[in-house]
Structure 1
Amino acid sequence: MNRAHTHTPDHGAQHGRHQEHDADGQAELLDLDAEVFAEHIASIAAWLPLTTSPRRIVDLGCGTGAGTFTLLDRFPDAHVTAVDTSAGHLQHLHAKACARGLEGQVRTVQADLDDPAWPDLGSPDLVWASASLHHMAHPERALRNVHGALAPGGLLAVVELAGFPRFLPEGAPEEQPGLEERCHAVTDRLHAEHLPHRGADWGPMLTAAGFTVEGERAVSVNIEGSRSEAIGRYALGGLQRIRSAAAGWLSAEDLTALDRLLDTGDPRSLLHRDDLVMRTERTVWAARRT
């Protein structure tokens, strides 16, 4: 599985020195993601149709732990098995668990969830899969594996996103209106080649895997940058990664305008704008093993 979680424009598998350096940057972006979406992640966890507090939880494609720590905040007596393909992300998550005094409640497992031989995840009461399933080449098999691992009556929570958030107002930047959407159009085309399940309706796949879908919820996110200083840094990190992927397909004028937004020393950069609004949507499915 090519990393989970979360909401970065490129979740590619990490191999070699360049990718390990890239993973460091991705970990920082994932931490920012957890910070700016904290309220919304908590609301999703509170919405889940749980009849009792889960004691054994699996965070499938955990990244640096946004879901892991949200769930432990809500269910402080639980134990979480955090699974990801990135050793660096798991080390980062473990360090955070130790800093919070939770190392005894968090177990990390490095695994490729596209591998037919799955790791032993025990018999969890709750499996949380946030922005991870669409990275898998064989998500149908993964869902069957989750169904087989869950305790009878256990719940799977699937959280998927429409895409990386938008930040700029309509008509911005002034010299190249529509730049952000053109950047996303390029990365959407690239993702369509490598991530065919991005934006999928997971309901039918969950049913086919043996689950009973008990709830589906669309969550709209709209946060003004004035509410969180982290939004500017999150926009900066995300658009930096988008530039790396999209540079070859953008016009010279678009690249110049994008570089100005990314230049933290420029008064017109993202970090100096007071009109950023983070906008995106997520969909949540709650599916039970009956």
Structure 2
Amino acid sequence: MKHEQQHQHKQHNHAHAHNHGGDDFDWAAMADLLELEGEVHGQYVQQAIAELQRLTAPGDGDGDSDGGGGDRTPRRILDIGSGPGVAACRLAQAFPAAEVTAVDGTAQLLARAEQRAARLGVRVRTRQAEFPAGLAELAAPGTADLIWSGQVVHHVGDQQGVLDALAELLAPGGLLAIVEGGLPTRCLPRDLGFGRPDLFARLDVAMAGRFARMRAELPGSVAVVEDWPALLRGAGLTEVHSRTFLVEHPAPLGDEPRRFVRANLERARQTLGELLDAEDLATLDRLLDPADPACVDRRADLFLLLAKTVHFGRRP
């Protein structure tokens, strides 16, 4: 599957890893960025997994179909659009008795997932499949206990249709967790000390326009109100709710998140260049120039702050 990532987030730079028709990204070449993103965004994934553990605990009191108190530990977990397997490995650590399968359309990314699992000593299987065309081949309907899909669904033209298909893979009582939406990334003060203030607000606008064009150009694109809880209910799921989790790396920024910020700004410069004016391009160039004292490699005020929203639903 493919991510057009991360909506660098918003610098929207879609370092996710999924395949949808019509995009021109080399996802295998982006493997390093995808893996780095998974590490840097780990805070929200761990918080979401804690919510999944709560929802799968016996007798959690949320009106489960088995009447409460039964064994709800997931035995079969699918990470749809897994990329290099960072979330899949975290799921395997959280649910060691489960069979976790990382599913992606890019073989090189799945090889990364296998290497990561071996390095961490967790059990993760891999399965190459396009999204959503390969869904029917993943599992028999009603056999998955938990499906995780991080920022993948919006890369499919018919979002309701693909949620319907994911819901059909769930066993009774099974959980679907999709990551969609949140808050834009911020990494620097509003006024950088040069250029016009509010650079990142303008990057948000440029990326939003680019994202809207991507959605419109997808095969079979269907316009829907992106009310994700309503879409999950439309797929027949119950106990639907959303949680938003924070990713916060304060200044002074460590090496790994600093590299992530640089990579996302480089991608923003590459993909949004024609949408920005000369002054904003000059500001980005200064931020990315290693010889400039104001570059992101040197700034003591660099931080990383964003939020991700995860939507949960259970098959009755």
Fold equivalence (TM over 0.5):
yes
- Please give the secondary structure, in 2, of the residue aligned with 1:230: helix
Partner of 2:118: 98
What per-residue deviation string (whole Å, max 9, x for no partner) do you get for residues 214-236 of structure 1?
Answer: 43212233331335332211111
What per-residue deviation string (whole Å, max 9, x for no partner) do you get for residues 120-175 of structure 1?
Answer: 23511100111111111222222122222111111111122336522111112523
Amino acid at match of 1:56: R
* Structure 2, unaligned runs of 5 or more: 58-71, 217-222
Aligned-CA RMSD value: 2.6
Identity of aligned residues (%): 32
Distance change in 2, residues 1:57/1:6 (3 Å): farther
**Alpha-carbon distance in structure 1 between the residues aligned to 2:56 and 2:224:** 27
Q: Retained in 1: the 8 A contact 2:89–2:124? A: no
Q: Retained in 2: the 8 A contact 1:61–1:85? A: yes
What is the aligned residue count?
Answer: 284
- Shift in Å at residue 240 of structure 1? 0.9
Distance change in 2, residues 1:287/1:119 (3 Å): same
Amino acid at match of 2:92: L
- Pick from 161, 168, 181 the counterpart of residue 161 of structure 1: 181
**Alpha-carbon distance in structure 1 between the residues aligned to 2:290 and 2:224:** 32
Partner of 1:43: 47
**Alpha-carbon distance in structure 1 between the residues aligned to 2:107 and 2:161:** 23
- Shift in Å at residue 14 of structure 1? 8.8
**Alpha-carbon distance in structure 1 between the residues aligned to 2:31 and 2:313:** 29
What per-residue deviation string (whole Å, max 9, x for no partner) do you get for residues 71-103 of structure 1?
Answer: 11211222211111222211211221222333x
Partner of 2:233: 207
The ranges of structure 1 where at least 4 consecutive aligned residues each deviate by more than 6 angstroms after the TM superposition are 196-199
What per-residue deviation string (whole Å, max 9, x for no partner) do you get for residues 23-66 of structure 1?
Answer: 42x22222222222222211110012113321210001111112
Distance change in 2, residues 1:148/1:19 (3 Å): closer
Amino acid at match of 1:261: L
Structure with the higher fraction of residues in helix conformation: 1
Following superposition of structure 1 onto structure 2, how do residues 59-138 of structure 1 map, counting pairs within 5 Å? 59-102=79-122, 105-115=123-133, 118-122=136-140, 123-138=143-158
Asked if residue 242 in structure 1 is aligned to residue 246 in structure 2, the reply is no
TM-score, normalization by structure 1 = 0.88
- Please give the secondary structure, in 2, of the residue aligned with 1:137: coil
Q: Retained in 2: the 8 A contact 1:61–1:83? A: yes
Amino acid at match of 1:30: L
Structure 1 residues 137-146 or 1-10, which shifts more?
Answer: 1-10
Asked if residue 34 in structure 1 is aligned to residue 34 in structure 2, the reply is no
Amino acid at match of 1:50: T
**Alpha-carbon distance in structure 2 between the residues aligned to 1:69 and 1:246:** 33
What per-residue deviation string (whole Å, max 9, x for no partner) do you get for residues 188-240 of structure 1?
Answer: 11101113689932111111111113432122333313353322111111111
Structure 1 residues 265-274 or 149-158, which shifts more?
Answer: 265-274
Q: Retained in 2: the 8 A contact 1:85–1:110? A: yes
Q: Retained in 1: the 8 A contact 2:77–2:100? A: yes
